[in-house]
Amino acid sequence: MHSWENILNNLETGNTRAAQLNGAVWSVNTEVKEAILDAFRAGENVELDGNYTGFVDKNTIMPRTFTKESLVRMVPGGSSVRRGAYIAKGVIIMPPAYVNIGAFVDEGTMIDSHVLVGSCAQIGKNVHLSAGVQIGGVLEPIGQRPVIIEDNAFIGAGAVIVEGILVRKNAVIAPGVTLSKGVPVYDLVNQTKLPPGSDIPEGAVVISGTRPPSDKWAKEQGLQVYCPIIVKYRDEKSDASLALENVLR
């Protein structure tokens, strides 16, 4: 067995991860990314059969399949989980959705329709990824941190989170919010500006907003620049509005 095969197998069982939490700090496992790239290099394009007739992909990274014993609910209708991705028990994947290689999706998480979980992204327990959410992936550069969504976060419909952004526990990202390294976040509660690429704090409720640009001409034209805004921190009222219905699981 090639070393990359062993690592992909361990990724699927959750024994190995592309990023680990050490205390409060997430660190990247570069060995995992190197193995994934080796798997791509070793692969040859083949025509798939069975449920995937008509598709072509590398023979080293075939899509995963699940059984009742997996305790994963993969609803029919065009979803796919690639080789080397971990899907924990109690996860629900609604169609169509895609989970890419190296991703980690922990227990009780909901992946709604039209969701992308990118390569090596880390999704915590009881996270809700609403319809149309895009979680960016990263394989190169090797040392770059993937997008990480910690436990009990709620990501609203159509939100886009890319470029290694870390969303801490219990945070709420409102529908349509975009988080990336190049966009600063404004915290109205603490009256501070978070530098571009900062972590989203635990329990933060983030909505889409705008701010005036610094350029004089742009101001004269009445232009506004997009920015995410932390409008509050999660409280009992927030929890009640975001309560997940166990019967759906």
What residue segments make up the domains of the chain, in order of their start?
3-182
Nearest of 180, 87, 79 to residue 125 by alpha carbon: 87
Q: Are 200 and 180 in contact (CB under 8 A)?
A: no
Q: How far apart are CA 117 and CA 99, in angstroms?
A: 5
Q: Digits of tens for pLDDT over the chain (249 positions)?
A: 679 999 999 999 999 999 999 988 999 999 999 999 999 999 999 998 887 888 899 999 999 999 999 999 999 999 999 999 999 999 999 999 999 999 999 999 999 999 999 999 999 999 999 999 999 998 888 889 999 999 999 999 999 999 999 999 999 999 999 999 999 999 999 999 998 889 999 999 999 999 998 888 988 899 999 999 999 999 877 666 666 656 565
User: Which phi and psi angles does 204 have, rounded to 5°?
Assistant: -70, 140
The whole model's pTM is what? 0.93
**Residue corresponding to tokens 């062993």:** 6
- Give whole-number Cα distances, 70 to 31, 84, 93, 129, 151, in Å: 27, 15, 13, 21, 21
Q: Which two tokens stand for residue 211?
A: 């701010």
Q: How far apart are CA 229 and CA 209, in angstroms?
A: 6
* Superfamily (CATH) of domain 3-182: Hexapeptide repeat proteins (2.160.10.10)
Which helix (H) or strand (E) is 219 found in, with range?
A: helix 216-220
Q: How far apart are CA 52 and CA 64, in angstroms?
A: 11
pLDDT at residue number 196: 86
C-alpha of 157 from chain center: 13
pLDDT at residue number 132: 98
pLDDT at residue number 162: 97
Nearest of 114, 116, 72, 71 to residue 95 by alpha carbon: 114
Q: Are 125 and 144 in contact (CB under 8 A)?
A: no
